[in-house]
Amino acid sequence: EKFEKIIEGYTFDDVLLLPLKSGVEPRDADVSSMFSRHIKIKVPIVSSPMDTVTESEMAIAMARYGALGVLHRNISINEQLEMVKRVKKEETIIIRDVITVDENTPVNVARTIMMTRNIAGLPVVTAGKLSGILTKRDLEFSDNKGLVKDIMTKDVIYADEDISIDEAKYILYKNRIEKLPLVDKKGRLTGLITAKDIKTRERFPDASRDNDGKLMVGAAVGPFDINRVLALQDAGVDFIVIDTAHAHNMNVVNSIREMRKKINIDIIAGNIATGDAANDLIDAGVDGLRVGIGPGSICTTRIVAGIGVPQLTAISNVADVAEKNDIPVIADGGIRYSGDIVKALAAGASTVMLGSLLAGTDESPGMEMIINGRKYKSYRGMGSIGAIKAGKSDRYGKLENNSFIAEGVEGAVPYRGRVSEILFQLVGGIKTGMGYVGAANIRELHEKSIFIRISENGLRESHPHDIRIISEPPNYQNY
Ligand code: RVP
């Protein structure tokens, strides 16, 4: 009787998308997407919170190219906070903790500050108000004696604190200045915009940034670790990812409901694979859902526990519920090629989360190694013996006496160069797929796509066949 109601599940290799009548050129396809209820990004890709994938360097690279990184949690709260701060400091448009001097500061003291801190223009604040700026030019012909007020530029050009970046850029350019102090209605200094930071911003026009122009970053937390959550929020993290192997555990759901009351940043929860789980988590107040039970390249959950849902069906199950509530879905795990991303988005995901595809890049924290003359980087599941022993993570089942049952393996993936190159290839693949479907954006990709079920022969025909490949293109590597 149990087998009468048995349902079918599909994953990436079970299907293809039909080519449809199209008026969309791939280069015009818009791949921007919602990551969570309040966060929109230009590139629908997120790096996984794993200790061989995402630390500050990965998060910085991902955010710069329009994607996002989620810092892993296999470390102490303090170590994770440091990583958040590193990302947040990497680029900024409005400097908030401005270093200043007083009119009555001796010139030689000001000069030392400028030299040791490598500052080209030092705002002068007197009695709480902006009264001038000391620039390198002011110092050039000074004999280093006297006070700042004797040599500073008095008619300092400043702007209102609500100025837009474009306006600020215009003022900097028009006046040929490097620094623009921002003041509030009472003349108090509230920030500083520099030409250098604007130039950096222009180098990365698609970057995922917060309201101050800083790169966005998220962090993974355990489902009951409220201390970590509050500390991360204070450190300026943009969102948190409640990171568990089974988020439809009602203790987890209830804990998330409590967390929701205490913080105001977006909460993403997972992992799940059913519509019921989506319903319960949305009811608890989450802003995004992370889908995938067992599809990960390093994951043995399906083998060890016999549990899981083929990933495309899991995405579609969750997306059916999430869509009605306007909650974005992250398809996490099992993605090997750009075509898998197109299928995941077509099935209803808004973004995808990658482990294996990013673990081989320069920006991942994993160890480099040479195997048979080819370069690899280490990659391991967070439920692997190595990861569990190294860290504080409780994502995968700890039993009594600190013993545990591993749900992942440790290994290595081919070295893949820089994150920017991988993202370029993946985004190119997504746009190509959208061109075939006639989808101008991700929503249309989901609405218009039609899946066709293929056989094993169909799959064999899909891959290159009857050829000995001599040169592998960057977007098709088989190993
Ligand atoms: P992949 O991209 O296929 O390498 O999958 C990465 C995902 O696998 C992670 O985002 C996470 O959901 C899952 N994972 C991480 N560790 C383990 C494990 O040890 N079982 N699984």
HEC-encoded secondary structure of the chain: CCCCCCCCCCCHHHEEECCCCCCCCHHHCECCEEEECCEEECCCEEECCCCCCCCHHHHHHHHHCCCEEEECCCCCHHHHHHHHHHHHHHCCCEECCCCCECCCCEHHHHHHHHHHHCCCEEEEEECCEEEEEEEHHHHHCCCCCCEHHHHCECCCCCEECCCCHHHHHHHHHHCCCCEEEEECCCCCEEEEEEHHHHHHHHHCCCCCECCCCCECCEEEECCCCHHHHHHHHHHCCCEEEEECCCCCCHHHHHHHHHHHHHCCCEEEEEEECCHHHHHHHHHCCCCEEEECCCCCCCECHHHHCCCCCCHHHHHHHHHHHHHHCCCCEEEECCCCCHHHHHHHHHCCCCEEEECHHHHCECCCCCCEEEECCEEEEEEECCCCHHHHHHCCCCCCCECHHHCECCCECEEEEECCECHHHHHHHHHHHHHHHHHHHCCCEHHHHHHHCCEEECCHHHHHHHCCCCCCCCCCCCCCCCC
pLDDT tens track, the chain, 479 positions: 888 889 999 999 999 999 999 999 999 999 999 999 999 999 999 999 999 999 999 999 999 999 999 999 999 999 999 999 999 988 877 888 899 999 999 999 999 999 898 888 899 999 889 999 999 889 888 888 899 999 999 999 999 988 888 899 999 999 998 899 999 999 899 999 988 888 888 889 999 999 888 999 999 999 999 999 999 999 999 999 999 999 999 999 999 999 999 999 999 999 999 999 999 999 999 999 999 999 999 999 999 999 999 999 999 999 999 999 999 999 999 999 999 999 999 999 999 999 999 999 999 998 899 999 999 999 999 999 999 888 855 666 565 566 778 999 999 999 999 999 999 999 999 999 999 999 999 999 999 999 999 999 999 999 999 999 888 888 998 76
Quote the ligand 1 centre to 387 CA distance (angstroms): 12
- The Å distance, Cα 271 to ligand 1 centre, comes to 10
Query: Among 382, 398, 409, which is best to mutate for testing ligand 1, by the most ligand atoms less than 8 A from CB?
Result: 382
ipTM over 0.90: yes
Tokens of 436: 């075939």
Mutate to test the pocket of ligand 1, among 298, 356, 389, 396 (most ligand atoms within 8 A of CB): 298
92-116 burial string, b = 16+ CB within 10 Å, else e? bbbbeebebbebebebeebbebbee
The best mutation among 299, 353, 378, 385 to test binding of ligand 1, ranked by most ligand atoms within 8 Å of the C-beta, falls on 299
Active site residues: 299, 395
CB 49 less than 6 A from any atom of ligand 1? no
Ligand 1 centroid–CA 401 distance in Å is 26
Single pTM value for the model? 0.88
Cα 296 to averaged position of ligand 1 atoms, centre (Å):
4
Beta carbon of 407 within 6 Å of any ligand 1 atom: yes
Task: Tell me the binding residues for IMP.
Answer: 297, 332-334, 355-356, 379-383, 407
Annotated binding site for NAD(+): 243-245, 292-294
Tell me if 356 CB under 6 Å of ligand 1.
yes
Which residue ranges form the domains of the chain, and what is each CATH number?
A: 12-91+206-462 (3.20.20.70), 94-200 (3.10.580.10)
Ligand 1 and 294: CB distance under 6 A: no
| Ligand 1 centroid from CA 88, angstroms | 26
